[in-house]
């Protein structure tokens, strides 16, 4: 089936282009041992995020949805020495595993991991007067995507890149009668993007070892 080919090709890409990395292997094992769901980005996608940060020259990154910190590590590794990454996670167990993983990968020095509901954390960050971010990766609970997009705009400046993950959902995104709150959240996310004059965006469909999905990439305009 197609899925088999996608998996094999993903494996081929990873084998050719992504150097063996015992630290990342250890991170994924630690996640598995702690019983975390395997919702992390794939190696090829992690490297893609890493390349985007490099291409953009981002110095300040916001990530919504840490899980075990796998994508966090890929993002953080692209930061310059004076870079900073804030990552938000609701689940205390996920956060605890992520904390250990980030320190194992020696990226913990530039990372602030905030534990709690992301919407509450974002409101608190506003109170604290946290500065805007150059790059924002939205990858938490999909029903809240529309809210996360509004917050992403709040913490943006002209030139900020906003990425939203899992926006195709095996093609369910075009089902207007869906009752799935995640698909609904993603559809509202598109509606907001369509109406939002401050962002120019597109979506890219992807296949691979984690099935058929995709991401939105947006640029905040001047
Ligand atoms: N970015 C991670 C990676 O690629 O390695 C994967 C993140 S996983 C898809 C989504 C995460 O968002 C889960 O760890 C989940 O606990 C967290 N999450 C769910 N609801 C949340 C909320 N309201 N606030 C913050 N995090 C939340």
Reported as a single tens digit per residue, the pLDDT across 45-70 is 999 999 999 999 999 999 999 999 99
Cβ-in-10-Å burial (0-12, 13-18, 19+) of 151 comes to: buried
Rounded-to-integer distance, Cα 163 and Cα 5, Å:
26
Question: By three-state DSSP, how is residue 114 classified?
Answer: strand
pLDDT digits (tens, 9 = 90+) for 100-130: 999 999 999 999 999 999 999 999 999 999 9
Closest CA to 91 of 45, 141, 135: 141
Q: Output the DSSP codes for 42-58.
A: PHHHHHHHHHHHHHHT-
For a ligand 1 pocket test, name from 50, 141, 215 the mutation site with the most ligand atoms within 8 angstroms of its C-beta. Answer: 141
Instruction: Write down the pTM of the prediction.
Output: 0.98
Q: Are 165 and 137 in contact (CB under 8 A)?
A: yes
Residue 138 in contact with ligand 1 by CB distance below 6 A: no
For a ligand 1 pocket test, name from 32, 45, 90, 116 the mutation site with the most ligand atoms within 8 angstroms of its C-beta. Answer: 90
pLDDT of residue 2: 86
Q: Domains in the chain and their CATH numbers? A: 2-220 (3.40.50.150)
pLDDT digits (tens, 9 = 90+) for 197-216: 999 999 999 999 999 999 99
In the numeric block, which tokens belong to residue 182? 């995640």
For a ligand 1 pocket test, name from 140, 143, 213 the mutation site with the most ligand atoms within 8 angstroms of its C-beta. Answer: 140
pLDDT of residue 78: 98
Give pairs for 89-96: CB < 8 Å, separation 24+: 89/65, 89/113, 89/114, 89/115, 89/118, 90/115, 90/116, 90/117, 90/118, 90/140, 90/141, 93/34, 93/35, 93/36, 94/36, 94/66, 94/67, 94/68, 95/66
Pairing of strands 161-165, 199-208: unpaired
31 alpha carbon, distance to own chain's centre: 17
In the numeric block, which tokens belong to residue 36? 């975390």
Q: Are 164 and 62 in contact (CB under 8 A)?
A: no
Residue 76 in contact with ligand 1 by CB distance below 6 A: no
Q: Are 6 and 208 in contact (CB under 8 A)?
A: yes
pLDDT band at 44 (very low <50, low <70, confident <90, very high): very high
Residue 213 in contact with ligand 1 by CB distance below 6 A: no
Q: Are 137 and 50 in contact (CB under 8 A)?
A: no
Average pLDDT over residues 27-40: 98
Which residue has the least CA distance to atom 6 on ligand 1? 40
């Amino acid at each position: 089936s197609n899925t088999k080919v996608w998996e094999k090709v993903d494996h081929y890409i990873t084998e050719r282009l992504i150097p063996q990395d015992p630290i990342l292997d250890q991170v994924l094992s630690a996640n598995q041992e702690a019983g975390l769901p395997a919702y992390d980005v794939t190696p090829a996608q992690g490297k893609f995020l890493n390349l985007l940060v490099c291409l953009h020259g981002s110095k300040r990154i916001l990530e919504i949805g840490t899980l075990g910190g796998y994508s966090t590590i890929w993002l953080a590794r692209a930061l310059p020495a004076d870079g900073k990454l804030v990552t938000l996670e609701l689940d205390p167990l996920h956060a605890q595993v992520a904390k250990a993983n980030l320190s194992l990968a020696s990226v913990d020095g530039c990372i602030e991991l905030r534990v709690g509901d992301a919407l509450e954390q974002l409101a608190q960050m506003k109170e604290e007067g946290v500065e805007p971010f150059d790059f924002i990766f939205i990858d938490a609970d999909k029903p809240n995507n529309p809210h996360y997009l509004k917050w992403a705009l709040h913490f943006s400046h002209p030139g900020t890149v906003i990425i939203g993950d899992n926006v195709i959902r095996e093609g369910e995104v075009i089902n207007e009668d869906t009752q799935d709150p995640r698909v609904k959240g993603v559809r509202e996310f598109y509606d907001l993007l369509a109406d939002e004059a401050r962002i120019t965006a597109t979506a890219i469909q992807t296949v691979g070892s984690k099935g058929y999905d995709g991401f939105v990439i947006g640029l905040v305009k001047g």
